[in-house]
Amino acid sequence: MSDIKKVVLAYSGGLDTSVILKWLQETYQCEVVTFTADLGQGDELEPAKEKAKAAGVKEIFIEDLKEEFVRDFVFPMFRANAVYEGEYLLGTSIARPLIAKRLIELAKKTNADAISHGATGKGNDQVRFELGAYALNPDIKIIAPWREWDLLSREKLLQFAVKNNIPVEMKHKNGGSPYSMDANLLHISYEGRHLENPGAEPEEDMWRWTVSPEKAPNESETIEIQFNKGDPVSLNGKTMKAHELLAALNQLGGKHGIGRLDLVENRYVGMKSRGCYETPGGSILLKAHRAIESITLDREVAHLKDDLMPRFASLIYNGYWWSPERLALQTLIDHTQNNVNGWVKLKLYKGNVSVIGRDSATDSLFDTSIATFEDDGGAYDQKDAAGFIKLNALRMRIAAKIKK
């Protein structure tokens, strides 16, 4: 049918990619190499390996990428305080460039002719995977089954799976089509089923990582995060690797009902989509990072970062992680983090994260002698403010005189 003899498939072992594996073998009559990334999604990866073996796959790659994911993708994103459309912490978006990178590397290693993914033709992930792949290998061939086959619903996928004896985990107590889910160390997402009605409340038993705020402990918990050049390096005095620290924050946030989000977002392909997200550790980290920046960043640098942040977030959401503009912005953002060092104390309580203290022994720009409401001993001459105000009001005073 084609000149494609070998394909590297981004494979989770779930419904979509299990069907795709069989479909690729039947449609392209090609050898399929599976790649499963351990990004901290929490699922046991052995079943994916066994499913691939049962499907006749000879080259199976299962890789622990948790540290690389958090250190080289999540933390650089959080240095920018990136939030898409005011709420979404980009948990799915930030995982795609790493997966695309490994797909390209494995295609080269195995002498594959193409890569394949399970993203639908309606979603953002197809764009993210493929923009990343083309940026890293402009000549790569990409197979996107959702844009080729006629299995255009989850019910049809289930029928195909049953027909071909493909085992599928039913992730919903009432059976039928499962939620479309994505998980990694930063978040877990849910789409589909009754969530496609934006007026329908999410089912409580859908959530996997967080307790409801109502069922969270009645006692608050105080934690302390230490930062070095904008990245968290220790929690409650214990130095940790990047992925260990985020995992610990996830556990704390989930325990206290922190990080749930119900969002209608604007997809890059043009449609609106409703999704629910759990990002417990990320929600804590964002609050903490902004707190340490508040005491260590120059005012205009901080405001410049806030101006650039929506653009930076959109680049990640839309799949432009490997683009020259994202790399240029990252260089600027990373430069701003050189003095973002110190600690932040936070209180976790029933879905809320409250900053209760922050300081930097080496880089604090907070000058008590100037900011005090008490006698500052001449550190700040309040009379200077009169001229400052008059000069800044000059253009408005001139305009007001004309109006008279």
C-alpha span between 223 and 69 (Å, rounded): 24
Q: Which of 96, 260, 326, 358 is catalytic?
A: 96
Res. 46 pLDDT band, cuts 50 70 90: confident
Look over the chain and give the mean of its residue pLDDT values, rounded to a whole number: 95
| pLDDT at 200 exceeding the cut of 80 | yes
Res. 173 pLDDT band, cuts 50 70 90: very low
96 among known catalytic residues? yes
Higher pLDDT, 152 or 251: 251
| pLDDT at 366 exceeding the cut of 80 | yes
| pLDDT at 76 exceeding the cut of 60 | yes
Joined tokens for residue 336? 């701003």
pLDDT tens digits, residue range 84-101?
999 999 999 999 999 999
The CA-atom distances, in angstroms, between 116 and each of 41, 73, 363 are 21, 22, 47
Residue pair 322/132 in contact (Cβ under 8 Å)? The answer is yes
| pTM recorded for the entire structure | 0.94
C-alpha span between 136 and 143 (Å, rounded): 16
Predicted local distance difference test score (pLDDT) of residue 168: 72
| pLDDT at 170 exceeding the cut of 70 | no
Q: Which of 79, 113, 180, 231 is catalytic?
A: 180
Q: In a 10 Å sphere around its CB, with 0-12 CB exposed, 13-18 middle and 19+ buried, how is residue 136 labelled?
A: middle
| pLDDT at 172 exceeding the cut of 90 | no
In which residue ranges of the chain is CATH 3.90.1260.10 found?
Answer: 188-359
- Pairing type for strands 342-349 and 221-228 reads antiparallel
Q: Which residue has the tokens 């968290």?
A: 232
The annotated binding site for ATP is made up of 10-18, 37, 118
125 among known catalytic residues? yes
| pLDDT at 230 exceeding the cut of 90 | yes
Predicted local distance difference test score (pLDDT) of residue 268: 96
| pLDDT at 288 exceeding the cut of 60 | yes
Higher pLDDT, 173 or 367: 367
Res. 261 pLDDT band, cuts 50 70 90: very high
C-alpha span between 394 and 32 (Å, rounded): 71
| pLDDT at 245 exceeding the cut of 90 | yes
User: Which residues touch 156 (CB under 8 Å, ≥6 apart)?
Assistant: 150
In which residue ranges of the chain is CATH 3.40.50.620 found?
Answer: 6-65+94-178
273 among known catalytic residues? no
Q: Which residue has the tokens 């619903």?
A: 153
The annotated binding site is made up of 10-18, 37, 88, 93, 118, 120, 124-125, 128, 180, 189, 265, 277
177 among known catalytic residues? no
The annotated binding site for L-citrulline is made up of 88, 93, 124, 128, 180, 189, 265, 277
Instruction: Kindly state which CATH superfamily the domain 188-359 is placed in.
Output: Argininosuccinate synthetase, chain A, domain 2 (3.90.1260.10)
Q: Which of 102, 116, 125, 283 is catalytic?
A: 125
Mean of pLDDT values over 242-259: 98
Predicted local distance difference test score (pLDDT) of residue 256: 98
Q: Which of 16, 113, 182, 231 is catalytic?
A: 16
Its CATH architecture, for the domain 6-65+94-178, is 3-Layer(aba) Sandwich (3.40)
Q: Is the dihedral of CA 281, 282, 286, 289 positive or negative?
A: positive
The annotated binding site for L-aspartate is made up of 120, 124-125
